Structure 1
Amino acid sequence: MNYYQLTPDVIADALVSVGIYVDSGLMALNSYENRVYRFKSDTDGILIAKFYRPERWSRQQIQEEHDFLFALDDAGVRVAVPLIRDGHSVFEFGTMLFAVWPAVSGRQFEADNLDQLEALGEQLGRLHSVGEHFTLRHRPQLSTDDYLLRARAVLEQQARIPNRLRGEFFARLNEVIERATGLYRPAQQLTLHCDCHASNILWRDGLWLLDFDDCRTGPAVQDLWMMLSGSRQEQLMQLDTLLAGYETIREFDAAELALIEPLRAMRMVNYMAWLTTRWSDPAFPASFPWFNTDDYWQQQLGVLTEQLQSLEAPPLSLTSWN
């Protein structure tokens, strides 16, 4: 069985092995890290099957994600929980691990809609109220060692950065890493969604949080900062709206605002390394044709320069807004 070329027959056989039958509509969904398919089952309705990328997460780590989802659902957070068969939610077929969810349909989350933004803040407050008591024993923390130092090693060893840019690129990258590492000092870490952006949120009779594949331990602000965009004043308005909902459930530590730019730098560098490590997957060159070109690395040099300036600027402050 080849994970990179899953056939409809293999997918159907894997699902049959746990008593789920594909009636119609087996369709690949837009997912890069895993292989995800939507289909209709006569007995269970519209379902989503996720086949996990080999060697990314262990079975224990995947189970922790599921257990967190079950805990969130019990606490009233709107999340999709995986199906359970014979007491299990993580299934194995040959060498592949997979899971199945009921499909969640709805409208795209509108990040510029202040009512929806406030509702997101409330749901994240509920999520973090669970997350501060839910211990991950197998999944890693959100750390500069992983997102910056390991990522830099990947870029040094594998990225096809043009020779004319390598010296300047890594000099700038090292400056960003040094500054971000010095600033990233979270006082509290809890279990997070960790990839909370608009594409992982739907609106259907309220807000739904989807795709906890990246969940790990980190500071609360990690689940908030990706909703902030535009000018500094616009970001402060968005932050104020998010926290209006969040603090109906849980107090937010304003000192974590100083972590936003280090976290942005971590995501930026880790994203470059992620594309580099996945380049041998046939889906990636087809989906990201602009990556690994001279123009791409020239642009990233500019992005790193801008991020260094952001790291050196004063952090967002709630007192300057209120």
Structure 2
Amino acid sequence: MESSSHPYADLSPVAVLEAVESLGFETDARIFPLNSYENRVYQVGLIGKPSIIVKFYRPGRWTTAQILEEHSYTLELVELEIPVVPPIAFGSAGTLLGYKNFQFSVFEQFLGRPPELDNLDNLLVMGRFVGRIHAVGALRDFEHRVELTVERLAVHSRQFLLENNFLPKDLRPAYESLSQDLIDKIQQRFSAHGELRKLRIHGDCHPGNVLWKDETPNFVDFDDTVMGPGIQDLWMMLSGDRNQRQAQLLELVEGYNEFYDFRASELELIESLRTLRLMHYSAWLARRWEDPAFPMSFPWFNTERYWAEHILELREQFSLLDEPALRLI
């Protein structure tokens, strides 16, 4: 049972229905939790109408200004007919609504299938739409959203894990030294690159946040939108061995360049960005470990085996950081 101090302790099924009905909807009492851990997201059935998606933001994660800036960006994209799924606006109440101690938003239910990224033609199309998103993202900066930085994703992650004693004693020295070596090397890579062109990006553009329909990728969940380099929204679409990733990259960039100028120099940062994501992911799980949904959904986390494998993964990344970057050939 959730403790009363847990941020979602009071978000019962009844509270979810009451929040939806406060907007004038007539629900049929069907609630299906969706695969979301950072926030709480539900599909809610309506009488005589299609179901809606209701997202309750994790209290304290983002400020109101940061959430509204996310919403504003997605609506800006929609106005230019870029296929994203934005929150629904409710008159003067806008897109960010309140119920008791929760902030929530409502989305139309959008049905699509996962993108088939082993199809190079699909990657060409994906590149075009990411390029369109970035062309809009470059028009102005966020005022309230955070930036993608080594400090936030790696330094703070390492600090949290060590200060809160998540590492087993016999593995702590290995993690402590390796993680610092990785941070030093990544900072060197970013310094060697020089000034980054940062723009408004999706921030978490992996295939799970793309729904394919009618030969078009539709982008969902801008919860992690940040100021960052464009390559961050592209590298997670690459998979397989080096030759496969090289071929995939060429298709992505060809489509991307039709709408926005790709910076080839950012290819040098792919493995650094992958390492930042790995380090941040472990710390994210640790930060949320008191949320009862996390031990139930990630029972393998915070075991000695997990940390041993994580250290091995980081060692592999340390070697990959010295490998030649992919090239536009």
Q: Distance in 2 between matches of 1:28 and 1:76?
A: 29
Q: Give the one of 19, 27, 35 matched to 2:24.
A: 19
Q: Give the one of 66, 76, 81 matched to 1:76.
A: 81
The equivalent residue for 1:65 is 70
Q: Distance in 2 between matches of 1:22 and 1:141?
A: 39
Alpha-carbon distance, 1:6 to partner? 2.1
The question of 1:292 aligning with 2:283 is answered: no
The question of 1:153 aligning with 2:159 is answered: yes
Is the contact made by 1:68 and 1:134 (CA closer than 8 Å) also made in structure 2? Answer: no
Q: Give the one of 129, 141, 146 matched to 1:140.
A: 146
TM-score, normalised to structure 2, is 0.94
* Structure 1 unmatched ranges of 5 or more: none
Is the contact made by 1:75 and 1:126 (CA closer than 8 Å) also made in structure 2? Answer: no
Q: Distance in 2 between matches of 1:20 and 1:157?
A: 46
Q: Deviations over 1:232-253 (max 9, x none)?
A: 1111101001112111111101
Secondary structure, counterpart of 1:265 in structure 2? helix
Secondary structure, counterpart of 2:174 in structure 1? helix
The equivalent residue for 1:130 is 136
Secondary structure, counterpart of 2:86 in structure 1? coil
The question of 1:176 aligning with 2:174 is answered: no
Is the contact made by 1:83 and 1:99 (CA closer than 8 Å) also made in structure 2? Answer: yes
Alpha-carbon distance, 1:161 to partner? 1.1
Q: Give the one of 99, 105, 111 matched to 1:105.
A: 111
Q: Distance in 1 between matches of 2:327 and 2:202?
A: 24
Q: Give the one of 11, 28, 33 matched to 2:33.
A: 28
1:247-286 map, 5 Å: 247-286=257-296
Q: Distance in 1 between matches of 2:253 and 2:16?
A: 43
Is the contact made by 2:41 and 2:56 (CA closer than 8 Å) also made in structure 1? Answer: yes
* Structure 2 unmatched ranges of 5 or more: none
Q: Deviations over 1:260-297 (max 9, x none)?
A: 11111111100011011000000001111111101111
Is the contact made by 2:17 and 2:29 (CA closer than 8 Å) also made in structure 1? Answer: no
The equivalent residue for 2:173 is 167
- With 120-129 and 244-253 compared, the bigger mean Cα shift is at 244-253
Q: Distance in 2 between matches of 1:19 and 1:117?
A: 41
Secondary structure, counterpart of 1:38 in structure 2? strand
Alpha-carbon distance, 1:44 to partner? 5.3
Q: Distance in 2 between matches of 1:270 and 1:236?
A: 26
The equivalent residue for 2:201 is 192
The equivalent residue for 2:210 is 201
Q: Distance in 2 between matches of 1:25 and 1:296?
A: 37
Letter of the 2:292 counterpart: P
4+ residue runs of structure 1 moved beyond 6 angstroms?
none
Alpha-carbon distance, 1:21 to partner? 2.8
The equivalent residue for 2:314 is 304
Alpha-carbon distance, 1:228 to partner? 1.1
Query: 1:43/1:260 Cα in 2 relative to 1: closer, same or farther (>3 Å)?
Result: same
Letter of the 2:75 counterpart: F
Q: Distance in 2 between matches of 1:90 and 1:55?
A: 15
Letter of the 1:229 counterpart: S
Percent identity over the alignment is 39
TM-score, normalised to structure 1, is 0.96
Q: Over aligned residues, Cα RMSD in angstroms? A: 1.4
Q: Deviations over 1:126-171 (max 9, x none)?
A: 0000000132111110011100111111111124211111111111
